[in-house]
Amino acid sequence: MAKIREECEILHMTDKQLREIMTRLHNDLVKGLSKDTHPTATVKCWLTYIQDLPNGKERGKFLALDLGGTNFRVLIINLGENHFDMQSKIYAIPNHIMTGTGIALFDHIAECLANFMKEHNVYEERLALGFTFSFPLKQMGLTKGILQRWTKGFSCSGAIGEDVVQGLKDAIARRGDVQIDICAILNDTTGTLMSCAWKNHNCKIGLIVGTGSNACYVEKTGQCELFEGDMSKSDMLINTEWGAFGDDGALDFVRTEFDREVDSNSINPGKQIQEKMISGMYMGELVRLALVKFTRMGLLFGGRGSDLLFQRNSFYTKYVSEIESDKPGDFTSCMDVLEELGLSHATEADMAAVRHVCECVSRRAAHLVSAGIATLLNKMNEPRVTVGIDGSVYRFHPHFHTLMCEKIAQLVQPGISFDLMLSEDGSGRGAALVAAVACRESLGCA
């Protein structure tokens, strides 16, 4: 165990390293926002064209689409006074569609939408729709967004460089059976922020720690050099796309052999470097690679692994949450996981070591996210900010929230207070709210 603890030290980031990361991220955010440096910036800081937060008076019936996490969902949302109701359905995106053509993806989405409308008896209505599309988009307006890159295992051909709203409109037109007004396209971080801000006016940061990772925040319009519209509104939501932080080597000083291997085995090597150190798509695999190394060194399982242990992506990220949910000294979940992996010969010392590896990987992710949030809080320099958060890792990991609270408190400038709030279904409700605010502002729909 002592040897494993020593080996895991590379996963520990000191406060000095975290502060260095904060300086680098801050510089990258400024580069992303500035006109001259934006084209070569790694953290793009895309404009969202969302300048109005909800005021709680939004009303009406909206459709929403949510694409970009593990699931694809269609939702219908009724916003009323002080309450809303929502019905939704999850549709699978089969692997051949995730990696097929853009056209096939949009046809699939349009088909799910039409089926959903039939089931909810709104097939004949012309409803406003908000589209949560959680990939990097260069937005040209609230209803125009050019896809920059795929992330999180998607790789549909012919979609990069294209307007996603147009792609969906074309697919709906090809069917010809439903009428939709697409009022807004947004990122899941933006939806999360909007959905929290509906109740809590201090909510000025939206964060996702799920399959992928990203954050958005409220910036002064004056700082958004790429914005050429109406400067009379003081604020603009910025989608940082911080998953790409590190793509230029900025995080190499803290990356490990496990990070490099996860990256080289991925479908987008060299891209989304920070995301690969944080998010649910990769966390389990990082743990597995460490376990494989320690088994080969003879430090774990008596040097005897299993076929599954040696098989890529067999250690699910949800295992990390399960293992860390065991009380100290108890290894019930850990034992279940190891049995599933064909490692029932594990001793109690092995189980303690496996838990230690999980803790090191998840704690590092929480600290990296915390450094990012502290950077945003310091940059915004507002006395009190609520961070709206969603995503499977934040939601299901037993200690992520506490780790983040502690670390942000250490890294943030004195005088800034913050709280972290779980956002209830930001991608769905947030999409409806953005559509509703767009209608309120009568910006017109596409």
How far is 187 from 191, CA to CA, in rounded Å? 6
For residue 135, the minimal CB distance to ligand BGC (Å) is 5
Site string for ligand BGC, 191-230 (x = CB under 6 A): -----------------x-x-xxx----------------
Q: Identify which of 76, 140, 67, 128 has the alpha carbon closest to the alpha carbon of residue 102.
A: 67
Q: Are 403 and 393 in contact (CB under 8 A)?
A: no
Which of 135, 258, 394, 400 is the binder for ligand BGC (CB under 6 A)? 135
Whichever of 54 and 191 has its CB closer to ligand BGC, that residue is 191
Kind of pairing, strands 137-141 and 144-147?
Answer: antiparallel
- CB of residue 278 to ligand BGC, shortest distance in Å: 10
**What does the alpha-carbon distance between residue 189 and residue 388 come to, in Å, rounded to a whole number?**
9
List C-alpha distances in Å: 383 to 169, 289, 388.
43, 42, 16
Tell me the site size for ligand BGC, rule CB under 6 A. Answer: 18
Residue 156 CA to residue 99 CA, distance in Å, equals 5
> Residues 55-84: x/- map of binding to ligand BGC (CB under 6 A)?
-------------xx---------------
Binding to ligand BGC by residue 136, rule CB under 6 A? yes
Contact between 274 and ligand BGC per CB under 6 A: no
For ligand BGC, what does the binding mask look like between residues 17 and 56, x meaning CB under 6 A?
----------------------------------------
Task: Find the helix or strand (DSSP H, E) in which 439 lies.
Answer: helix 426-440
For this structure, is 199 an active site residue?
A: no
Q: Check residue 163 for interaction with ligand BGC (CB under 6 A).
A: no
CB of 242 to ligand BGC, least distance (A): 9
Assess 284 for contact with ligand BGC (CB under 6 A). Answer: no
Does 275 interact with ligand BGC (rule: CB under 6 A)? yes
Q: Which residue is nearest to ligand BGC (CB)?
A: 212
Least separation in angstroms between residue 206's CB and ligand BGC is: 9
Active-site residue (options: 188, 263, 326, 390): 188
Nearest CA among 187, 181, 172, 188 for reference residue 115: 172
- Mark whether 152 is an active-site residue: yes
Could you tell me the smallest distance in angstroms from the CB atom of residue 272 to ligand BGC? 6
Closest by Cα among 317, 377, 314, 375 to 340: 314
Q: Judged by CB under 6 A, does residue 152 bind ligand BGC?
A: yes
Amino acid identity, position 93: I
Q: Does 427 bind ligand BGC (CB under 6 A)?
A: no
Q: Does 187 bind ligand BGC (CB under 6 A)?
A: yes
Which residue, 44 or 288, is less far from ligand BGC as judged by CB?
Answer: 44
63 or 67: CB nearest ligand BGC: 67
Task: At 231, list the tokens.
Answer: 């400067």
> Half-sphere exposure (CA, 13 Å, Cβ side) for 369?
37
DSSP codes, 20-69: HHHHHHHHHHHHHHSTTTGGG-SS--EE--------S---EEEEEEEESS
Give the sign of the dihedral formed by CA 284, CA 12, CA 275, CA 67. Answer: positive
Say which of 44, 152, 204, 271 is annotated catalytic. Answer: 152
Segment lying near ligand BGC (by CB under 6 A), choices 58-66, 185-193, 379-387, 438-446: 185-193
Rounded to an integer, what distance in angstroms lies between the CA atom of residue 355 and that of residue 39? 43
CA–CA distance, 300 with 234 (Å, rounded to integer): 57
d(CA 415, CA 99) in angstroms, rounded, equals 48
Local structure of 425: helix, strand or coil = coil
Q: Cα separation of 4 and 300, whole Å?
A: 9
- Range 231-260, binding ligand BGC (CB under 6 A): 241, 243
Residues annotated catalytic, as ranges: 152, 188
- List interacting residues with ligand BGC (CB under 6 A): 68-69, 134-136, 151-152, 187-189, 208, 210, 212-214, 241, 243, 275
